[in-house]
Amino acid sequence: VLIISPCSASPNRTLNEMHLLASVREFWSLRCVKRGNVYILGHDLFSRPGPRLVDGCEMIAALLKGVDFDSSTMKRWKGEAFKYECDVSIGNCKNPSHCTTELAQRFKPCFGTNRDVLDDDSKV
């Protein structure tokens, strides 16, 4: 599993800059990339010690282990987590270069979208 959560970058900004990582040939040879186990998470859940760090750990438990949380918790996570949806290893993406086309669109929201979060690049 690869979790990408750059400090001071919104999930939307990270999505828009994924082409920089994808341009590195070795990225496509990572087993987690081939299996579609790549996530982009909002950095504010992990960058500072405090209550948000617990939220971040709970989010990871939900994403990776399927732990259920109440609906109010899930609503707070809207727009904070995206998963790569191009699994090279099972054949739905036969050519990794195909996966780079509009790479940001290959990440799907894990808990729904929140337009305010997705459009916050002007605040960065």
Q: Left if phi > 0, otherwise alpha if psi is -120 to 50, otherwise beta: which for 102?
A: left
pTM of the model: 0.79
DSSP letter (8 states) at residue 28:
G
pLDDT at res. 92: 53
Q: What is the pLDDT of residue 120?
A: 45
Any long-range contacts for 69-76 (C-beta under 8 Å, 24+ apart)?
74/111, 75/111, 75/112
Q: First-to-last CA distance in the chain?
A: 27
* pLDDT for the residue 91: 52
**pLDDT for res 71:** 87
- The pLDDT of residue 89: 53
Smallest Cα–Cα separation from 79: which of 118, 37, 52? 118
Q: Could you state, in chain order, the average pLDDT of each consecutive group of 10 residues for the chain (124 residues)?
A: 91 89 88 90 87 91 91 88 74 55 80 56 41
